[in-house]
Structure 1
Amino acid sequence: MPTTADILIETLIDWQVDTIFGLPGDGINGVMEALRTRQDRIRFIQVRHEESAAFMACAYAKWTGKLGVCLATSGPGGTHLLTGLYDARLDQAPVLAITGMQFHDLIETFTQQDVDLTRAFSDVAIFNAQVSDAAHMESVASLACRSALAKRGVAHLSIANDVQEETLDDASRSKRNRPSHTPDLWFEGSGLPADEQVEKAAEILNGASKVAILAGRGALNARRELAEVADLLGAPVAKALLGKAALPDDHPHTTGGIGILGTLPSQEAMEECDALLIVGSTFPYIEYYPKPGQARGVQIDRDPQRVGLRYPVEAGLVGDAAAALRMLNPRLKRKEDRGFLEKAQAGMRRWREMMAQSESKPDMPLKPQVVSRAFGRRLPDNAILAVDSGQNTEMAARHIDMKDGQAFGVSGTLASMACGLPYAIAAGIAFPGRPVFAVVGDGGFAMQLGEFSTAVRYRIPLKVLVLKNNMLNQIAWEQMMFLGNPQFGCELQPIDFAMAAEAMGGIGYSVSRAEEVESLLDAAFAAEGPVVIEAVVDAYEPMMPPKMPPDYARNFRQALPETPGREAIEASVAEEPLKTMIAEDRQERDQGQKS
C-alpha cells in the first residue's frame, strides 16, 4: 500500500518531473525514502544549502520550461528556501516546494522546529497546502503541479513527517473524495491574443515613424518572429536583462541592454521613439521607458495582469509571444524610412568603440572589463551563461556578447546575490555535457561558496569567473549615486577563491595582471571539470549608467570627497569611456541652464 510520500513522488513522475533539488533532514525522511526507491526514474540532487535548492529549481524551470522542484526539511530548512522561491515568484518560473513539518499532533505546541511553513509561505506561493493524509495527497499533489505551471509561480506542499509514512489504508477518506478523480495531465491553452487587439496593434505600429522594441524573457522562444518584426518596422531592439539572449548581441537591430546596466543607444531610442512595442517584458525601471504620452504603446505578454503595468498601452496582445507575432507580422507594412534604425546602429558603433577602450586597458590594478571581455570571447556557440547580481552583472551585460544558440540566466526582478552559482549548476544538471559558465562577484560567490563542491560532485563542466575586488561594489556606487553618501560598510575580508576551489576538489586559477589574462584563460578553458578563475580587479572602477542623470552626477560629486579611494576613482572617471559618460551629463546640465 503506497504511503503519502510514495503518492507524491509517483505523481511528480507522472508530471514528467525528473529532478528534485534539496537537502535531507529528519522532517522530510519519508519523502527521501520514496525518492531512494525510485532513483531509476527521478534524480535527487543534493545541495549544500536549501537556498541553493530553491535557486536551482527556479533556474531549472527557466532553462527547461518544465516544473522545477525543491525539497527541504521542517523549520529552518523550509525557511531557507524562501529567497530562491521569491526569485521564482517574481520571474514567473513554475516551481514546487516540498517541505517537512513536525509530528502532526505536535503542531503549535512549541516543539522543536515548530514553524508553520504554510503561514511562512503565504506570500510567496500561489498554491499553499498542508497535507493531512495520503488521500489528501492524491488530490493536492497534481493540483500543486498544475497551479505552478498554469500561474507560472510557486506551489508549496508541507507534510508532517509522520504523515509522510502513513498509507492509504491509514487515511480517513471522505465519501466525496473518490480515488483518481484528478488527472495527472497538463492542458495548455492556445496562447493566442484577440484578433481585434492584433488589428489595433498593427494600426498603431504602421502609423508610427520611429518604433522602438523592448524585448524580455518572454521573447526567448520567439527569436525568429522578433527579428522579423524588427526588420518590418525598422526598429532598434533594446533588451531587458532577462531577454539578453532574445537576439544575438551582434544582430543589426539590437542596441543591447536597457537601464543602468544598458547602453546609450537603447536609452536614446526610448527617448526619441513615437511607438513602443514591448515583447515579453515587464522591465521594472520605469524611468528608462519613454515619457507617458510621448509614444503609443503595444504590449505582448502571456499574463493580462502585466499588460500596461510599466507603460500605458493602447493594444494588449495577451498570449504567447511567438504566436502573437505570427499573427501581427503579416499585417505590418515594411517601413522604407530606416533613419531611426540607422541612427541607433551608428550609436551602437560608437558605444562599442567606447566599451573597447575599457576592455583593452593594460592598467594595474586589473580592470574588470578586460577579463570579462576575454572570458566572454571564449564562450562556445552552445554555452550557457549564468551571472550573479552586482557589478559583475554590469560586466556581463555590457562586455559579454550572446551569440545565437547560447543561453543566459540571472535572478531578474528579485536581483538576489548568490544566484549565479546555483543557476549554473542547474544548467549543468538540465543539459548534461553542455558547457556552462558563470560570472560572479566575490560578495555573492562567498554566500554560497560551498555549493562549488556540488558542481564537483556532479561533474558539471563549469567555468566560474569570480571578479574579486574585496568590495560590494554595486552597493558602494549606489550609496554614492543614489543618496550622495560616501561608501560605507562595503569592504570585504579577502578570500582565496582559487585555493578554495582546489580544496573542494576542483581547479583554481588566479590572475591580477592584464598581460596574464589571455594565457591564463586559455589554460582554464582547456581544463576539465569545474574551474574557478579568480580575477583580482580594481575596487575603485566606478559603475556608471549610460547617461548620468543630473541628480546621480550631483550626488556622486557630493559623496566623492569623503569616499575611500577618492584619487583612484577620480583617475578612472578622467579616462574613457567614463569621461564621455560624465560629459553627456555636463552637456545636458549646461543646456538646461541656458534654456
Structure 2
Amino acid sequence: MTTVADMIIDSLHRLGVRTVWGVVGDALNPLTDAIRRNPDMRWIGVRHEEAGAFAAGAQAQVSGTLGVCMGTVGPGSIHLLNGLYDAKKSQAPVLAICGQVPTPEIGSDYFQEIDNDLLFTDVAGFRATVTSAAQMPRLLSQAVNAAYAGPGVAVLTLPGDVGEMEMPADAGRPQFVTARPVPHPDPQVLEDAVTLLEEASNVTILAGIGAAAAKDELLALAGKLSAPMVLTIKGKGLEENNPFEVGQSGLIGNPASKTAFDGADVLLMVGTDFPYPEWLPKVPTIQIDVKAEHIGRRTPVQVGLVADAAVGVRSLTARVTAKPGTGHLDKAREHYADWRERQQALLGGGKGSLPGRILARARRPFENPSGRIRPELLADVVDRVAAPDAVITTDTGMSTVWASRFLRMRGNRQLVGSFGLGSMANAMPQALGIQALDTGREVVSLSGDGGLTMLLGDLITAVVEQLPVRVVVFNNGRLGMVKLEQEQVGLPEFGTVLTNPDLAAVARSLGWSSWRVEKAEDLEEITRKAFATPGPVLLDVLTNPDEISLPPQVTSDKAWGFAIAKVKETLESPA
C-alpha cells in the first residue's frame, strides 16, 4: 500500500531532495515515518521551526534546487513564517509542508487549528490544503512547480488523516518542471538601450545576484563602456578579478560608489532589485531583469529589457561602440583604492597608507577606549583564514557591514544572508542548512551576539547532526545597527545593550569546540586553530561596540546627530 505521505516523500526523493527540516508532531507522523523508511532521506530535527525554514531556504539559494521544511499543526507552522519570508525575498525555491487538524474538524476552531491557506497568503505563491488522496499527486506537482517558477515559496497543508490515506492505483506520478526558460530581449527595446548607451558620456553599471552567471559578459561590456561597476551585497561574488568594481552602495557602501553614481549620465542596472532608491542617481536608466515586474519599481527606467542577464549583456556588447575615454572609471577606481587603503589602516600592524594610519590612531581614543578587538580586524582575519571555496553566511546588521568591506569573494566563495528580509538570527541556521548539503565544504557563520542568542537552541542541531560549521560571533554586547541608527539621528543609545553569557562556555557545554577571544594579538592564531579543528566550532570574539561605520555620504545632519548622541550618552552615563 502506498499512502499519500509515501507518495510525497518518494516523489521528493526522485526530485533530488535529501534533507527535510522541521520539528516532529502528530499531523506530520505519516510524513516523518515515510522519511524514516527511506534510507536516502534525512530528517533534521531542529529546536525551532524558524531555524528549519532558514536552513531550507539557504540550501535552495546555494544549490538552486528545492529546499523542504515542515511544521506541524498550528504553532509549528506559524514558526516557519520568518524563514519562509526570507526565502520569498531571496527568491529561493522552498516547499513547506504543514500539518493540519483531522479533516472532519477543519473549520470547527479545533485545538491548535489555524487557517494555513490564509496564514501563508502573502509569503507563498502557491497554497493548498489536501483533503483527499484523489487530489494527489496533482497538488504536489503544482506546489513544486510553483516554487521553481517563482522562484519562491509554496505551502502544502496536509491533515494527518489524509497523509495516511491510500493512493488510488491509477494516480500516476507527479510531473515536476524545474527548468526555467531563458528570456531574450525584444529587438526594438534592445536598440533603444544601445542608442541610450551610445549617447552617454559616462556609464555606471549596478550589478546584482541576477548577474552572477554573467560575469564574463559584464566584464566585456564594462570594458567597452569604460564603466565603473557598483555591486550589491548579493552581487559581491562578481568582485574578484574585476578591474571595474567599486564595492557596494547604501549604508554598507563606500564613497567610491557615490563617485561612480554621481559622475554617470546613464545607469545600467543588471540583475538587481536594489531596494534603496535614495542611493541611485537620477539619470536615464536601463534595467535588465528576467522579471518584468522588477523593471522600474526602484527608480524610473527609460529602457527595460526583460532578458536573462548574460543574454541581454552579450547583446548590448555586440552592438555598442567602445568609448575612448576612461576618466569616469579611473576617478571611481582611484577613490575606491584610497578608501580601501583607509580601511586597511584600521586593522593596525602598519597596514594601509600613512594618512590612513594617522587617522586610525586619532580615532582610537574616541571609538575604542577600552582597547577591545576591532570588528574590522575580525572580518579581515576570517577573510584570510577561510577556505577559497567557503560559503559564508552573515547576520543582518553590523556583521554584514564588516563582511561587505573586508571579505573578498575569491575562488568559489559564496555569501548568503538575509539581504532581502533583513531578519535577525539568520546566519547560524543558514550555515546549518548549507553544511548539510556538503559536510566537506567549509561553511562559516558570521553571527552577531543578538542574532545568535535569538536561536541559540539550534547550536544543538549542529552537534546532533554532526555538521562542522564554524560560527564566528561578533560579540559587542549590543544590537549594533540599531545603536548606530539611534545615534545618527541624535538619540542616545537605548535598549540595545545585551547581557550575554560566556558564549564560548555555552557552546562548549553543548558539545562544540569553542574559544573566547579577548585580545587582538591572539585573534589570528586562535582563528586558525579553530578552523583546523574537526566538528562544529564557535569563536566568541569580544569586539568594540563603539566602532563607527560611515556610509558613502555623511550628511551634516547625520554627523551633528551623532555628535549630539555621544554628548547625551556621556551626560547620562553613571559616574
Aligned residue for 2:392, secondary structure, equals: strand
Conserved 8 A contact 1:223-1:247: no
Q: Paired residue for 1:23?
A: 23
Identity %, equivalent residues: 36
Aligned residue for 2:268, secondary structure, equals: strand
Aligned residue for 1:404, secondary structure, equals: coil
Q: Paired residue for 2:507?
A: 501
Q: Paired residue for 1:576?
A: none
Matching of residue 476 in structure 1 with residue 483 in structure 2: yes
Matching of residue 229 in structure 1 with residue 221 in structure 2: yes
Shift of 1:189: 1.5
Matching of residue 194 in structure 1 with residue 186 in structure 2: yes
User: How far apart in 2 are the matches of 1:334 and 1:453?
Assistant: 57
Matching of residue 404 in structure 1 with residue 408 in structure 2: no
418, 441, 453: which one aligns with 2:425: 418
Shift of 1:430: 2.1
Distance 1:460 1:565, change over 3 A: farther
Deviations for 1:61-112, whole angstroms, at most 9, x for unmatched residues?
A: 1101111111111111100000011111122111111000111112233332
Q: Paired residue for 1:272?
A: 263
Shift of 1:543: 3.0
Aligned residue for 2:242, secondary structure, equals: coil
Deviations for 1:115-166, whole angstroms, at most 9, x for unmatched residues?
A: 1222111111110001111111211001100011112111100111111111
Aligned residue for 2:412, secondary structure, equals: coil
Aligned residue for 1:230, secondary structure, equals: helix
Alignment of 1:115-514 (within 5 A): 115-168=114-167, 179-180=171-172, 183-248=175-240, 251-291=242-282, 295-360=283-348, 364-481=371-488, 483-514=489-520
User: How far apart in 1 are the matches of 2:39 and 2:173?
Assistant: 27
Aligned residue for 1:260, secondary structure, equals: helix
User: How far apart in 1 are the matches of 2:560 and 2:132?
Assistant: 62
Conserved 8 A contact 1:7-1:134: no
5+ residue gaps, structure 2, are 349-359
User: How far apart in 2 are the matches of 1:246 and 1:70?
Assistant: 31
CA RMSD across the alignment: 1.9
Matching of residue 540 in structure 1 with residue 542 in structure 2: no
Conserved 8 A contact 1:222-1:321: yes
Conserved 8 A contact 2:221-2:314: no
Shift of 1:301: 0.9
Shift of 1:522: 2.2
Conserved 8 A contact 2:473-2:541: yes
User: How far apart in 1 are the matches of 2:136 and 2:183?
Assistant: 30
Conserved 8 A contact 2:136-2:171: no
Q: Paired residue for 1:10?
A: 10
TM-score of the superposed pair, with normalisation by structure 2: 0.92
Conserved 8 A contact 2:257-2:552: no
Deviations for 1:29-60, whole angstroms, at most 9, x for unmatched residues?
A: 111111112232x3322222100111111111
Q: Paired residue for 1:527?
A: 533
Aligned residue for 1:299, secondary structure, equals: strand
Q: Paired residue for 2:112?
A: 113
Distance 1:231 1:404, change over 3 A: farther
The one-letter code of the counterpart of 1:410 is G
Conserved 8 A contact 1:247-1:404: no
Distance 1:323 1:460, change over 3 A: farther
The one-letter code of the counterpart of 1:529 is G
Aligned residue for 2:234, secondary structure, equals: helix
Shift of 1:321: 1.2
Conserved 8 A contact 1:242-1:412: yes
5+ residue gaps, structure 1, are 172-177, 568-595
User: How far apart in 1 are the matches of 2:498 and 2:44?
Assistant: 31
User: How far apart in 2 are the matches of 1:269 and 1:87?
Assistant: 30
Shift of 1:184: 3.1
The one-letter code of the counterpart of 1:189 is P
Q: Paired residue for 2:34?
A: 34
Deviations for 1:551-583, whole angstroms, at most 9, x for unmatched residues?
A: 32233233332226999xxxxxxxxxxxxxxxx
Distance 1:4 1:433, change over 3 A: same
User: How far apart in 1 are the matches of 2:221 and 2:385?
Assistant: 31
The one-letter code of the counterpart of 1:328 is L
Q: Paired residue for 2:353?
A: none
Conserved 8 A contact 1:259-1:267: no
User: How far apart in 1 are the matches of 2:343 and 2:332?
Assistant: 16
The one-letter code of the counterpart of 1:49 is H
User: How far apart in 1 are the matches of 2:13 and 2:481?
Assistant: 42
Aligned residue for 1:168, secondary structure, equals: coil
User: How far apart in 2 are the matches of 1:193 and 1:255?
Assistant: 28
Conserved 8 A contact 1:358-1:369: yes
User: How far apart in 2 are the matches of 1:43 and 1:565?
Assistant: 57
The one-letter code of the counterpart of 2:95 is L
User: How far apart in 2 are the matches of 1:329 and 1:23?
Assistant: 51
Distance 1:224 1:58, change over 3 A: same
Q: Paired residue for 2:352?
A: none
The one-letter code of the counterpart of 1:351 is W
User: How far apart in 2 are the matches of 1:83 and 1:152?
Assistant: 17
Aligned residue for 1:488, secondary structure, equals: coil
User: How far apart in 2 are the matches of 1:334 and 1:300?
Assistant: 20
Deviations for 1:480-525, whole angstroms, at most 9, x for unmatched residues?
A: 22x4322111111122111122112111111111212122222222
Conserved 8 A contact 2:140-2:174: no
Judge which range, 210-219 or 227-236, deviates more: 227-236
Judge which range, 250-259 or 546-555, deviates more: 546-555
User: How far apart in 2 are the matches of 1:373 and 1:129?
Assistant: 47
Aligned residue for 1:256, secondary structure, equals: coil
Matching of residue 555 in structure 1 with residue 569 in structure 2: no
Shift of 1:374: 1.3
The one-letter code of the counterpart of 1:429 is A
